[in-house]
Amino acid sequence: MTGLTTDNVTTDNVTTQNATPPIFDHRFHAQLAELIAWRRDVRRFRPDPVPDELIDHLLDLAQLSPSVGNSQPWRFVSVDSPALRGRIHDNFARCNQKAEGLYDGDRATLYAQLKLEGIAIAPRQFAVFCDRSTRQGAGVGCQTMPETLDYSVVVMIETFWLAARAHGLGVGWVSILDPVEAKTDLDVPEPWKFIAYLCVGWPEEEHVDPELVRCGWQPRTHAGRVVIQR
């Protein structure tokens, strides 16, 4: 993998040892805010290939993500086989049909119209797992809350997602899947926990607002902005 060393993690432009702290100016602050705002859960992709060098660069950057005990418990499986992608898509279709049955009336009609995955088109696809048996980090920080290993993988995914968006790539997280079936189909070690299925590619369209807002499913609210004082 280009740009990655096993001792002191190095990317194409970042070395983590003896580096001079950068100065992030107001222009960078504004661009960072734009990047966060334009990070979308993409479901509509163009079939154009993504250069391997770019994927390698994103995976290198993802290694700089924070993790409990510096355990880096994330494990990527690149799903390239058409047969395996077909099984993942079948998994989604079954789970999505069950989910649709949970709604009634107009809500059920709207749910049936939602575009919730891009498995058939996305040129790159990754299943992401948490290796709960990892010895890296020697258990620091996760003795009382072992689920922080899972949380570390989720934080890494956000890092990967933002880095991809900065290069114009879209990422879609497919969560309507049976994780046990997906893990079995992908034939990974038993201690690995299925966390996410990511579709990666060039977006077919660009929108600053989430698709679920545009289609009328759920607007953004301030629910998560409330801070309780104690």
Instruction: Report the alpha-carbon distance of residue 222 to residue 41 in Å, rounded.
Output: 20
Residue span of the structural domain in which 76 resides: 37-220
Residue 226 lies in a domain: no
Low-confidence ranges of the chain (pLDDT < 50): 1-8
Residue 17 lies in a domain: no
Residue 78 lies in a domain: yes
Residue 99 lies in a domain: yes
Q: Which two tokens stand for residue 29?
A: 């602050």
CATH of the domain at 127: 3.40.109.10
What is the pLDDT at residue 19?
Answer: 74
Non-local CB neighbours of 204 within 8 Å, separated by 6+ positions: 44, 45, 46
Structural domain count of the chain = 1
Instruction: Report the alpha-carbon distance of residue 71 to residue 62 in Å, rounded.
Output: 13
Distance between the two ends of the chain, CA-based, in angstroms?
48
What is the pLDDT at residue 187?
Answer: 97
What is the pLDDT at residue 92?
Answer: 98
Q: Which residue is associated with the tokens 């009382």?
A: 144
What is the pLDDT at residue 14?
Answer: 55
Non-local CB neighbours of 27 within 8 Å, separated by 6+ positions: none
Instruction: Report the alpha-carbon distance of residue 152 to residue 150 in Å, rounded.
Output: 5
Instruction: Report the alpha-carbon distance of residue 197 to residue 7 in Å, rounded.
Output: 29
What is the pLDDT at residue 1?
Answer: 35
Instruction: Report the alpha-carbon distance of residue 226 to residue 230 in Å, rounded.
Output: 13
What is the pLDDT at residue 11?
Answer: 55
Residue 12 lies in a domain: no
Question: Radius of gyration of the chain from Cα atoms?
Answer: 19
What is the pLDDT at residue 10?
Answer: 52
What is the pLDDT at residue 20?
Answer: 87
Residue 2 lies in a domain: no
CA distance to 25, 47, 148, 166, 187, per residue, from 171 (Å): 28, 13, 23, 11, 24
| Local structure of residue 230 (DSSP, 8 states) | -
What is the pLDDT at residue 89?
Answer: 98
